[in-house]
Homo-oligomer: A and B are copies of this chain.
Amino acid sequence: MSEKPTTKGTSGTDEEIEGPNTTRRTFLKGSSAAAGIAALGMEGTKPANANDTDETDDENDGDDGPTNVVLFIGDGQGRAQLDLGRYLKAYREDSETFPLNVADATYNLDRHDAHGSATTFPDDPEEFVADSASTATAIATGHKTYNGAIGGVENDAGEFVPKRTVLEEARDMGYAVGLVTTARMTHATPASFASHVPDRDEEEEIAKQYVRDGGVDVLFGGARSYFLPDGRETDDADLVAEAKRNGYRYLTTESELESLDSAPALGLFSESDHLNYTLDRQDGDDTTQPGLGAMAEKAIDLLEARGGRKGFFLMVEAGRIDHAGHANYPVVAHEQLEADDVVGRLLDYAEDSHGETSVITTADHETGGLSLGSGGPYDVNFDVLDGLEASTDALVPLVEEAESREEVSSIMQEEAGIDLLDTELDELRAYNTPVAEILNHRIRLGWTSTGHTAENVPTFATGPNAEFFDGTVDNTDIAGAIRERLNGN
């Protein structure tokens, strides 16, 4: 494939979308390979009567209660990002005994029952390193695809072929379904679960498919401009009005989220881009943006009610780990901590819920080539990292608008907690304002890229048959595992 396909496939209508891939790859895991395959349904660990429900039933019978599947995706959440969050959390809990206290600090990602990793590479002759569209499509549909593809693959004729997603299957089986993200609602990761376009940049088409074809009960994310006439370039459709006519509640602020009591609901909490980084969301001027945890918990409340005895499927994305990685921003750690907080809430729900709730936690790829420690010295300065009060996004304009060295010095003291050296002040007064470079050097975070990298990503699971994820799996296997759970296996 020398260029991305330009033939736009017919998308969004279920009857034209191919069914799930029937061949699923499993990695050799010694004596546990057979157990891993068995874990995915051939030998369930559920009570015997659970297997009475076949996939054509609209609701579970018996006393099992609903089946819920929550998929958490940390976009760009590589293994170093995950470790950075673990150690920052331990540092915050007790800086005196840190790092020896790390085993006592509760890092929620460590709470899962199963711990392994997943591949990320696309099916793309041009590129070995994945983008978020190909990986989210692999996870959502079970099909490897080319970078840029949303919810489909390219056939031998160069045409885009939509593929059914686990969300669409769940919806058609009677489950309530939802998508929650801190990125734009139309960004690649959520889009790959409920839309089908050959190019991830077709975000206005993605918005249209959500509203006209999606049937998604809960949509919470950023960037309402893609849904409104004034923001759209391809047409002047008012997708918010259409959604309301279809029965959707529409909301744009944290307080509206708090009082929301029924689905379907479309919550778009920023004007035209992603939600702010969590540090700025908490402290910035715009306090209308909810946290990812609040969005996820509200989504569960609504989906639980709407799914009834059948249950629900929910995808939650921590979308801005990735963006901090692209920019090589130290606030990647704070985004990771928000992700960990959300995972904790999901696991709490799984422990407390009636019925059976599976939580699968993964990432689409690593972003930035992050390392803890860089340049040679054997230290990482968590005190500096913990002293940050604002993201580099928020700091750069302040530094650029400062009218004196003293003012720059004061801003960096107040917002980043560091006393700048004269040489650093010289650098900051130069035109390219290398705030992130100075912070990375002080903290000793290393980065190799402003793009993604190709390492496997950490993958976890809790709930029935979670043990399948103890080991290395292909990211397409995640779709298979979700399908098995949705089918009651």
Contact = CB atoms under 8 A, between A and B. Distances in A.
Interface string A444-463: 00111111111110000010
Given A379-B127, A380-B128, A456-B83, A446 B369 contact: yes
B27 A131 contact: no
B106 A456 contact: no
A111 B25 CA distance: 15
A106 B116 CA distance: 17
Nearest to A381: B128
A455 B80 contact: yes
A112 interface: yes
A127 B382 CA distance: 12
A115 B113 CA distance: 12
Interface stretch (A118-126, A225-233, A272-280): A118-126
Given A448-B448, A470-B115, A28 B376 contact: no
A26 B103 contact: yes
A46 interface: no
A85 B366 CA distance: 18
A163 interface: no
Contacts of A107: 27-28, 472
Interface stretch (A13-21, A29-37, A245-253, A294-302): A29-37
A371 interface: yes
Contacts of A116: 115
A448 B378 contact: no
Given A27-B110, A110-B29, A446-B449, A103 B474 contact: yes
A36 to B, nearest CB: 10
A87 interface: yes
A116 B54 CA distance: 35
Contacts of A31: 113, 351, 462
A394 interface: no
A114 interface: yes
A222 interface: no
Size class of A's contact patch? 35 or more
B448 A375 contact: yes
A470 B376 contact: no
Contact of A448 (B26, B121, B369): B369
Nearest to A445: B448
A30 B111 contact: yes
A45 to B, nearest CB: 13
Contact of A376 (B79, B86, B377, B449): B449
A339 interface: no
Contacts of A129: 372-373, 377-380
A112 B29 contact: yes
Given A32-B113, A111-B28, A448 B446 contact: yes
A105 to B, nearest CB: 9
B470 A378 contact: no
Interface centre among A28, A454, A471 (most CB of B within 10 A): A454
Contacts of A362: none
A100 B123 contact: yes
A104 interface: yes
A436 interface: no
A81 B403 CA distance: 47
A436 to B, nearest CB: 14
Contacts of A128: 99, 372-373, 378-380, 382
8 contacts: A28-B110, A79-B79, A83-B456, A129-B380, A130-B378, A376-B449, A377-B451, A447-B448
User: Which 9 A/B pairs are nearest by Cβ-Cβ distance?
Assistant: A446-B448, A369-B371, A25-B103, A129-B378, A372-B454, A30-B111, A373-B453, A127-B378, A371-B453
Given A30-B462, A374-B449, 20 more contacts: A79-B117, A79-B455, A80-B453, A99-B128, A100-B123, A102-B121, A102-B474, A115-B116, A128-B382, A129-B377, A130-B378, A369-B374, A371-B455, A373-B452, A373-B454, A374-B453, A375-B448, A375-B451, A376-B449, A380-B454
Interface of A: 25-32, 79-80, 83, 86-87, 99-100, 102-104, 106-107, 110-117, 119, 121, 123, 126-131, 144, 147, 347, 351, 366, 369, 371-380, 382, 446-456, 462, 470-472, 474
